[in-house]
Structure 1
């Protein structure tokens, strides 16, 4: 029986920026419908990995999406397959929320054409799901950081891609909206077969939602496996230089930062 084609397949990915090696020999496969979260200390190469998978950095021979080499996909074809939520997307000045989310429908609109009734219906549905229906006419610049983050996610979901790349998707959200956004993404993954490749700093939240985790350190994969296999006190202490306790939770390991024991006073 032929094994299923991975949604993402990365082989010997090497990325250098300004002559500095960032990723050195990354091998990674993400199954269709899987949620994989990449963690690691600052500068480990997490965002660079997502940008390469999304076609924003040159790596056409090292990345395949659903069996097709990245370099063989035209820009509009790639946009129908993969949608990215970056940490700090560029927003045109003066743009309203509805118009920004409609940009996610561009891969389906003919050149010089206009959005259809179906395109608008998709956008309004996504805005409603993310509790943004009342913000349609607001300019993005007037929104809070958390509200803007939900709008960025709305544009990606409106794109209708089967692979979602999330680069720190909850960094600007309060805890309530963090849970709402991640629950929505997970619901879409389960009901629509969405594949998720994410980076996250909050290790406890990452462990609750990921099927599998990848720990990057110094541009290489230091560990890969289930959250229970990757979120260990020894691995986190070594690669993050952090003092933590890891305790079992109902949906995954919970990582608790702890103060180091001070040396005794002499």
Structure 2
């Protein structure tokens, strides 16, 4: 695998009109990698994703194969970078299939309609995410987790090289969380692609991400490789955001190292009274 920088962020600053929330964030990713973002609430995870995809004014640069994403017109940016927020924002009655077909919008001309081949590819994407047979249902009738999977299917057909996800696991059960990450792993390996995902669940991040970007106070605290970094280094970085933790390495049936994280917080000796 080519590990030359594919996606690079340098000096990224951003906020919401007040003091900057991001303050000089820097990291890079090679193609074929899933990078998870971990940090305490308010550390800048969502702000980072919004800045990269142009939803927030920002300083610094986000380069994808040498192209500054901040200089691209919205239509060109949408062809290269796809963003999945925590909530889809779709508030109208629309079929599940039509939601997925939205992924082709940046590639279609004015009044141009999706082709039969595009519709077939969209149906296959829905099948991959576990929504086969739901194509003609109203998107609004899906559960929040199913809506998230539908939006993922939309992204799979979009042709984007960089996928940004904001806590995609928040509405999914245990099985669907891992199905989603396995789908993303297959997706990034098909072509020159990368995934950047803000995750709420550190165990999922440790198990499924190639690299971890640790944010603290809007800055890059550490960039970790769960598969090979020494456990003490991982524990030190994770303890900075989660409090004292310990990690145990467990061999999986696939031969890979899997990590289990335990909290080492101790109860106070004094009774807890309101």
Would you say the 8 A contact 1:61–1:69 is kept in 2? no
Corresponding position of 1:222: 221
Would you say the 8 A contact 1:61–1:71 is kept in 2? no
Corresponding position of 1:115: 114
Deviations 1:16-38 (A, max 9, x none): 21212100011121112222111
Instruction: Note the C-alpha offset of 1:259.
Output: 5.4
- Within 5 A, what are the aligned runs for 1:125-136? 125-136=124-135
Q: Which of 226, 236, 240 does residue 238 from structure 2 map onto?
A: 236
Question: Helix, strand or coil for the counterpart of 2:49?
Answer: helix
2:262 counterpart of 1:260: no
Question: Between Structure 1 and Structure 2, how many residues are aligned?
Answer: 262
Corresponding position of 1:177: 176
Corresponding position of 1:26: 25
Deviations 1:135-184 (A, max 9, x none): 11122221112111111111111212121111111110000111111111
Q: Distance in 2 between matches of 1:170 and 1:71?
A: 28
Q: Distance in 1 between matches of 2:192 and 2:258?
A: 22
TM-score (norm 2): 0.88
Task: Give the 3 Å change call, closer, same or farther, for CA 60–44 of structure 1 in structure 2.
Answer: closer
Q: Distance in 2 between matches of 1:147 and 1:256?
A: 30
Flag structure 2 segments of 5+ consecutive residues without an equivalent.
Answer: 252-256
TM-score (norm 1): 0.90
Question: Helix, strand or coil for the counterpart of 2:21?
Answer: strand
Q: Distance in 2 between matches of 1:43 and 1:260?
A: 25
Task: Give the 3 Å change call, closer, same or farther, for CA 4–189 of structure 1 in structure 2.
Answer: closer
Flag structure 1 segments of 5+ consecutive residues without an equivalent.
Answer: none
2:63 counterpart of 1:55: no
Question: Helix, strand or coil for the counterpart of 1:79?
Answer: helix
Would you say the 8 A contact 1:8–1:63 is kept in 2? yes
Bigger Cα displacement from structure 2, 185-194 vs 114-123: 185-194
Corresponding position of 1:96: 95
Task: Give the 3 Å change call, closer, same or farther, for CA 177–222 of structure 1 in structure 2.
Answer: same
Corresponding position of 1:124: 123
Q: Distance in 2 between matches of 1:60 and 1:78?
A: 17
Q: Distance in 1 between matches of 2:19 and 2:179?
A: 38
Computed over aligned residues only, the root mean square deviation of the Cα atoms, in angstroms, reads: 2.2
Corresponding position of 1:16: 15
Q: Distance in 2 between matches of 1:60 and 1:174?
A: 37
Question: Helix, strand or coil for the counterpart of 1:62?
Answer: strand
Q: Distance in 1 between matches of 2:110 and 2:250?
A: 50
Task: Give the 3 Å change call, closer, same or farther, for CA 229–92 of structure 1 in structure 2.
Answer: farther
Q: Distance in 2 between matches of 1:71 and 1:185?
A: 25
Q: Distance in 2 between matches of 1:254 and 1:4?
A: 27
- Within 5 A, what are the aligned runs for 1:191-210? 191-210=190-209
Instruction: Note the C-alpha offset of 1:191.
Output: 3.0
